[in-house]
Amino acid sequence: MIRLTDRLRVLADEIKEKETMADIGTDHGFLPAYLWEQGICPKVILSDVSPGSLDKAKNNIRELFSEASPAFDFRLGDGIQVLSDGEVDVIVIAGMGGILMTEILGENPAKTRSFKKLILQPRSGQGKLRYWLIRNGFGITKESLVREGKYICQVLTVDPSGNNCAISRAIEGSGPNSIQYEVPPWILSAGELAEEFILRKRAAEERVLLGLSKSKMKDLEKEETVKQRITYLNSLLGGV
Ligand SMILES: C[S@@+](CC[C@H](N)C(=O)[O-])C[C@H]1O[C@@H](n2cnc3c(N)ncnc32)[C@H](O)[C@@H]1O
């Protein structure tokens, strides 16, 4: 039986029984392997832009399951170009930068909206990804936090129809670099790591403020912005 890391497990838990899925940027392929082995997904598509990564997934599947199963569909290519409209229920994109994710999802918005659910785990640019999703009418329905080594990873579950955007409406109107997109108010509902996540962010902002205050080149506007970011984070911590 495949044992997933905590991060991959959080992604797997967002997929319901009988849903079909495509793992874009699959690399090792362990997530789709687990979903099929557990009988959760009857069909999985494993896709990667790198031939070396896709070979890694093929080798892992061969080693895990001695019999080749037609349930594993390997595709080499960029983003969701490898899929036809509505071909699967769920798209998972994990372990890449958030800006790259906006490029993958934004290349063909009609196709992106043809899937029922997106599960996104950006390694960077999380604020810019949230901004892009909300601006383009995608509904963030849930956020989870999960520890991986020294990192706290963020997992976004998204409804491409935008019908379920109750939580994301709360910050409409702020700019793409605003702290509200980096640490949205609903992160407080993301589980036991929420407080640590916000404290880490505040510590990072305090380091920036200290650097600015020591600098010979004064930038009072920047200092004021960082102070406002810290005030916002403190307001969230008051609610923890
Ligand atoms: C760090 S790995 C993440 C593997 C796995 N998804 C995970 O979360 O553990 C990122 C993978 O994304 C692939 N990748 C990067 N850009 C891509 C794109 N535009 N389309 C498909 N795959 C891409 C890379 O080749 C690499 O295998």
Instruction: Report DSSP letters for 211-226, one per residue.
Output: HHHH-SS--HHHHHHH
Q: How far is the CA of 183 from the centre of ligand 1 (A)?
A: 24
The pLDDT score that the predictor gives to residue 173 is 64
Residue type, 75: R
Residue of the CA atom closest to atom 3 of ligand 1: 95
Dig out the tokens for 181 from the structure: 């997109």
Mutate which of 9, 53, 60, 82 for ligand 1 pocket (most atoms within 8 A of beta carbon)? 53
Query: Pocket residues for ligand 1 (CB within 6 Å)?
Result: 24-27, 48-50, 53, 78-79, 94-96, 100, 104
Dist. CA 124–CA 96, nearest whole Å: 7
Tell me what the pLDDT averaged over the chain comes to.
94
Q: Is 32 within 8 Å of 98 (Cβ atoms)?
A: no
Dist. CA 34–CA 40, nearest whole Å: 8
Residue of the CA atom closest to atom 13 of ligand 1: 25
Give the gyration radius of the chain's Cα atoms: 19
In this predicted model, what pLDDT tens digit does every residue of 177-217 receive, in sequence order? Answer: 899 999 999 999 999 999 999 999 999 999 999 999 999 88
Ligand 1 nearest-atom number relative to CA 26? 6
Q: How far is the CA of 47 from the centre of ligand 1 (A)?
A: 9
Pick 218 or 102 by higher pLDDT: 102
Residue 171 above 90 pLDDT?
no
Calculate the alpha carbon distances from 196 to 90, 93, 174, 223 in Å.
Answer: 30, 25, 24, 24
Q: How far is the CA of 80 from the centre of ligand 1 (A)?
A: 12
Pick 239 or 65 by higher pLDDT: 65
Q: How far is the CA of 25 from the centre of ligand 1 (A)?
A: 3
Torsion of CA 143, 169, 199, 207, to 10 degrees: 120
Q: Which residues pair with 22 in a beta bridge?
A: 45, 91
* Contact residues for 48 (Cβ-Cβ < 8 A; gap 6+): 24, 25, 26, 27, 54, 57, 76
Average pLDDT rounded to a whole number, residues 144-155: 98
Q: How far is the CA of 132 from the centre of ligand 1 (A)?
A: 20
Calculate the alpha carbon distances from 128 to 31, 71, 135, 174 in Å.
Answer: 26, 35, 10, 12
191-199 own/partner pairs: CB under 8 Å, 24+ apart: 191/144, 191/145, 193/145, 193/146, 193/147, 193/152, 194/145, 194/240, 195/237, 195/240, 196/152, 197/145, 197/152, 198/233, 198/236, 198/237, 198/240, 199/237
Dig out the tokens for 214 from the structure: 């020591």
Ligand 1 nearest-atom number relative to CA 121? 8
Q: How far is the CA of 218 from the centre of ligand 1 (A)?
A: 41
Dig out the tokens for 123 from the structure: 């390694």
The pLDDT score that the predictor gives to residue 53 is 98
